[in-house]
Structure 1
Amino acid sequence: MKTFFRLIALVKPYFWWMALAALIGFATTGSGIGLLMTSAYIIAKAALQPPMVTLQLGIAGVRFFGLARGVFRYIERLISHNITFKILAKLRLWFYDAIEPLAPARLMHFKSGDLLQRVVDDIQSLENIYTRVLGPPLTALLVAALMWFLLGVYSLQAALLILCFHSLAGIGVPLLTRQLSRGLSVGIMNRKAEQQVLALDLFQGIGELQLYGQLPAHLAAMQSAESGKLQLQRKNAIIEGLHESLTGLLMNGALIAILWALIPSISTGVVNGISLTVITLAVMASFEPFLPLPSTLKHLEADQLAGERLFEILDAKPETVAPLTPLPFPAEHSIQVEQLSFTYPGSDTKALDRLTFTVLPGEHIAIVGPSGAGKSTITSLFMRFWNSSEGSISIGGHNITLFDPEELRRQIALVSQRTYLFAETIRENLTLAAPDATDDDLKKALTAAGLSHFTAKLDEWCGQHGMKLSGGERQRIAIARVLLQHAPIMILDEATANLDGVTEREVTQTLNAISSGKTLITITHRLKAMEQYDRILVLEKGKIVEQGLHRELMDGNGLYRRMWELQHVAEMTG
Structure 2
Amino acid sequence: MSGMWGAVRPHAGRLLAAALAGVAAELCGLGLVAAAAWLIARAAQRPELAALSLAIVAVRGFALAKGSLRYLERLAGHDVALRALAELRGRVFDALAARRRDVASRDGDALTRMVSDVDAVQDLLLRCLLPGVAAVVCGVAGVVVCAVAVPAAAVVAAGGLLAAGVVVPWAAWAAGGRAAVRAAAERERLAVRALDVLEGGAQLAVFGASGRFTAAARRSAGRLADAERAAARVAGAVTAAGFLVQGVTAAGAAWAAMRAGGDEVAVAVVALTALVAVEAVLPLAAAAQRLREVLPASRRVAELLASAPPPPRPVPPVPLPRGPLAVDLLGVRVAYGERGGYALDGVDLTVERGRRVAVVGASGAGKSTLLAVVSGAVEPVSGTVRLGGHDVASRDPGEVRSAVRGLAQDAHVFATTVRGNLMLARPDATQAQLEAAARRARLLEVVEGLPGGWDTVVGEGGRGLSGGQRQRLLLARALLADPPVLVLDEPAEALDAATADQITRELLTLPGGGTLLLVTHRLAALDAADEVVVLDRGKVVQRGRHEDLLARPGAYRDLWESELLTT
- 1:105 equivalent in structure 2: 98
- Cα distance change on mapping 1:438 and 1:37 into 2, 3 Å: same
Query: 2:80 is matched by which residue type in structure 1?
Result: I
CA–CA distance in 1 between the matches of 2:151 and 2:220?
55
CA–CA distance in 1 between the matches of 2:190 and 2:218?
9
Query: 1:24 is matched by which residue type in structure 2?
Result: A
1:462 touches 1:469 (CA, 8 Å); kept in 2? Answer: yes
CA–CA distance in 2 between the matches of 1:240 and 1:3?
31
CA–CA distance in 2 between the matches of 1:435 and 1:255?
61
2:345 touches 2:539 (CA, 8 Å); kept in 1? Answer: yes
- Cα distance change on mapping 1:470 and 1:302 into 2, 3 Å: same
Task: Kindly state the Cα deviation for residue 6 of structure 1 after the two structures are TM-superposed.
Answer: 5.6
Moved more, 496-505 or 511-520: 511-520
1:7 touches 1:307 (CA, 8 Å); kept in 2? Answer: no
- Cα distance change on mapping 1:149 and 1:219 into 2, 3 Å: same
- 2:184 equivalent in structure 1: 189
CA–CA distance in 2 between the matches of 1:252 and 1:437?
65
Q: Does 1:287 align with 2:288?
A: no
- Cα distance change on mapping 1:33 and 1:132 into 2, 3 Å: farther
Q: Does 1:276 align with 2:267?
A: yes
The counterpart of 1:544, out of the listed 540, 545, 553, is 540
TM-score using structure 2 length: 0.85
CA–CA distance in 2 between the matches of 1:53 and 1:430?
77
CA–CA distance in 2 between the matches of 1:286 and 1:409?
56
Query: 2:463 is matched by which residue type in structure 1?
Result: M
Secondary structure at the residue paired with 1:181? Answer: helix
The counterpart of 2:488, out of the listed 485, 492, 496, is 492
- 1:297 equivalent in structure 2: 288
Query: 1:222 is matched by which residue type in structure 2?
Result: A
Task: Kindly state the Cα deviation for residue 237 of structure 1 after the two structures are TM-superposed.
Answer: 1.5
CA–CA distance in 1 between the matches of 2:146 and 2:296?
41
1:21 touches 1:76 (CA, 8 Å); kept in 2? Answer: yes
- Cα distance change on mapping 1:8 and 1:525 into 2, 3 Å: closer
The counterpart of 1:309, out of the listed 294, 300, 316, is 300
- 1:151 equivalent in structure 2: 146
- Cα distance change on mapping 1:328 and 1:200 into 2, 3 Å: same
Q: Does 1:19 align with 2:14?
A: no
Query: 1:279 is matched by which residue type in structure 2?
Result: V
The counterpart of 2:75, out of the listed 71, 82, 98, is 82
Secondary structure at the residue paired with 1:89? Answer: helix
Task: Kindly state the Cα deviation for residue 555 of structure 1 after the two structures are TM-superposed.
Answer: 6.2
- Cα distance change on mapping 1:272 and 1:95 into 2, 3 Å: closer
- 1:427 equivalent in structure 2: 419
Deviation string 1:150-187 (CA, Å, 9 cap, x unpaired) is 33245433322221221121112211221222244343
The counterpart of 1:120, out of the listed 115, 118, 124, is 115
2:169 touches 2:288 (CA, 8 Å); kept in 1? Answer: yes
Aligned pairs (5 A) from 1:30-69: 30-36=31-37, 38-39=39-40, 45=44, 52=46, 65=59
1:493 touches 1:522 (CA, 8 Å); kept in 2? Answer: yes
Task: Kindly state the Cα deviation for residue 240 of structure 1 after the two structures are TM-superposed.
Answer: 1.6
Moved more, 476-485 or 19-28: 476-485
- Cα distance change on mapping 1:562 and 1:253 into 2, 3 Å: same
Q: Does 1:354 align with 2:346?
A: yes
Secondary structure at the residue paired with 1:157? Answer: helix
Task: Kindly state the Cα deviation for residue 87 of structure 1 after the two structures are TM-superposed.
Answer: 1.5
Deviation string 1:515-571 (CA, Å, 9 cap, x unpaired) is 678643222344444444454333233223444555665566655455444443233
CA–CA distance in 2 between the matches of 1:526 and 1:130?
56
Segments of 5+ residues of structure 2 without an aligned counterpart are none
Count of equivalent residues? 559
Aligned pairs (5 A) from 1:371-520: 371-453=363-445, 454=447, 457-514=453-510, 519-520=515-516
Task: Kindly state the Cα deviation for residue 512 of structure 1 after the two structures are TM-superposed.
Answer: 3.4
Task: Kindly state the Cα deviation for residue 224 of structure 1 after the two structures are TM-superposed.
Answer: 2.2
- Cα distance change on mapping 1:567 and 1:2 into 2, 3 Å: closer
What percentage of residue pairs aligned between the two structures are identical? 25
1:336 touches 1:357 (CA, 8 Å); kept in 2? Answer: yes
Task: Kindly state the Cα deviation for residue 417 of structure 1 after the two structures are TM-superposed.
Answer: 3.6
Segments of 5+ residues of structure 1 without an aligned counterpart are none
1:88 touches 1:123 (CA, 8 Å); kept in 2? Answer: no
2:4 touches 2:301 (CA, 8 Å); kept in 1? Answer: no
CA–CA distance in 2 between the matches of 1:180 and 1:147?
29
Query: 2:164 is matched by which residue type in structure 1?
Result: A
2:343 touches 2:537 (CA, 8 Å); kept in 1? Answer: yes
The alignment yields a C-alpha RMSD, in angstroms, of: 3.6
CA–CA distance in 1 between the matches of 2:324 and 2:504?
26
- 2:228 equivalent in structure 1: 233
Structure index of larger Rg: 1
CA–CA distance in 1 between the matches of 2:325 and 2:142?
77
TM-score using structure 1 length: 0.84
The counterpart of 1:95, out of the listed 88, 91, 97, is 88
- Cα distance change on mapping 1:347 and 1:104 into 2, 3 Å: farther
Secondary structure at the residue paired with 1:492? Answer: strand
